[in-house]
Amino acid sequence: MFLKHFVSEESGHLVNISSGVGSRARPTVYAATQCAIEMLSDALAAEVDSTGVHVSCIQPGLVKTGLHSRWEIAPGGSTGVAEPLEPEDFARMVLFILEHPGAALEPSASDSKAE
């Protein structure tokens, strides 16, 4: 519904939130849902390409949230993250994307997987 409104106004920016886990081949429902968000974002971006609407998908690494409040986060531990993001770091990412919609890099042909 909101995307239809953005298109009719010829402006707007949809920011979807995924996870770095969605880009990895892991046999979990969580990874599958994150990958689905990324693919949906790509499809929506292509669909509104000729309008003034932008679609972005953020794939942060580990962010310290209430979900992780009981986890001990050791630098370079099993997550492979030297220093998890603070929620404020993540908020700055979203703000940057909204203020600089053209700053996102388009995937290049070299980024495509060879079949």
| Residues annotated catalytic, as ranges | 30
- Can you tell me the distance from the alpha carbon of 7 to that of 2, in angstroms, rounded to the nearest whole number? 9
pTM of the model: 0.72
Rounded distance between C-alpha atoms, residue 67 and residue 41, angstroms: 25
Give the pLDDT mean for 38-54. Answer: 94
Q: If pLDDT is split at 50, 70 and 90, which confidence band does 100 have?
A: confident
| Listed residue (4, 1, 9, 11) closest to 98, CA to CA | 11
108/25 Cα distance (integer angstroms): 21
